[in-house]
């Protein structure tokens, strides 16, 4: 259904460092760079996530999070560890979430600007 999603950040340089490292753990890479934005997606494809510099940008409040597909459980673990190492905060450690399904393995973090992220493998 979704073609891509853009998120606004106040500090593009900091956000780029965070997302370059974190998204690499899931097999995504930076696919384009602009003075005011960067785009990420699968290698050789277009962007699925754009990170855009906007003065006064703020992450949405309760109820929103962005779930990213992970190729395997090890990638979920790496996503979580890398996010914490790059200034993110823990919002749920890697593990099974049987309340969603018996094979739902996920981790939750909050990026340095407040965006809630999940990596999930089923």
- The ranges assigned to domains in the chain are 5-121
Domain 5-121 class?
A: alpha beta
What integer pLDDT is reported at residue 49 of this predicted model?
97
Q: Percent of the chain at pLDDT above 90?
A: 97
Per-residue model confidence as pLDDT tens digits over 20-56: 999 999 999 999 999 999 999 999 999 999 999 999 9
Considering the entire predicted model, what is its pTM? 0.95
**Cβ distance 94 to 80 under 8 Å?**
yes
Taking the C-alpha atoms of residue 76 and residue 26, their distance in angstroms, rounded to an integer, is: 7
Query: What is the structure's pLDDT at 95?
Result: 98
Rounded CA separation 5/103 (Å): 26
Interval 98-119 mean pLDDT: 98
């Amino acid at each position: 259904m979704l073609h891509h999603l853009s998120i606004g950040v106040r500090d593009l340089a900091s956000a780029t460092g965070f997302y370059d490292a974190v998204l690499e753990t899931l097999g995504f890479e930076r696919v384009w760079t602009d003075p005011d934005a960067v785009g990420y997606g699968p290698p050789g494809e277009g962007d699925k996530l754009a990170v855009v510099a906007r003065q006064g940008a703020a992450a949405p409040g309760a109820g929103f999070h962005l779930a990213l597909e992970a190729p395997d459980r090890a990638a979920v673990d790496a996503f979580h560890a890398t996010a914490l190492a790059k200034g993110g905060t823990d919002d749920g450690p890697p593990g099974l979430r049987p309340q969603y399904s018996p094979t739902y393995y996920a981790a939750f973090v909050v990026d340095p600007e407040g965006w809630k992220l999940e990596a999930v493998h089923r």
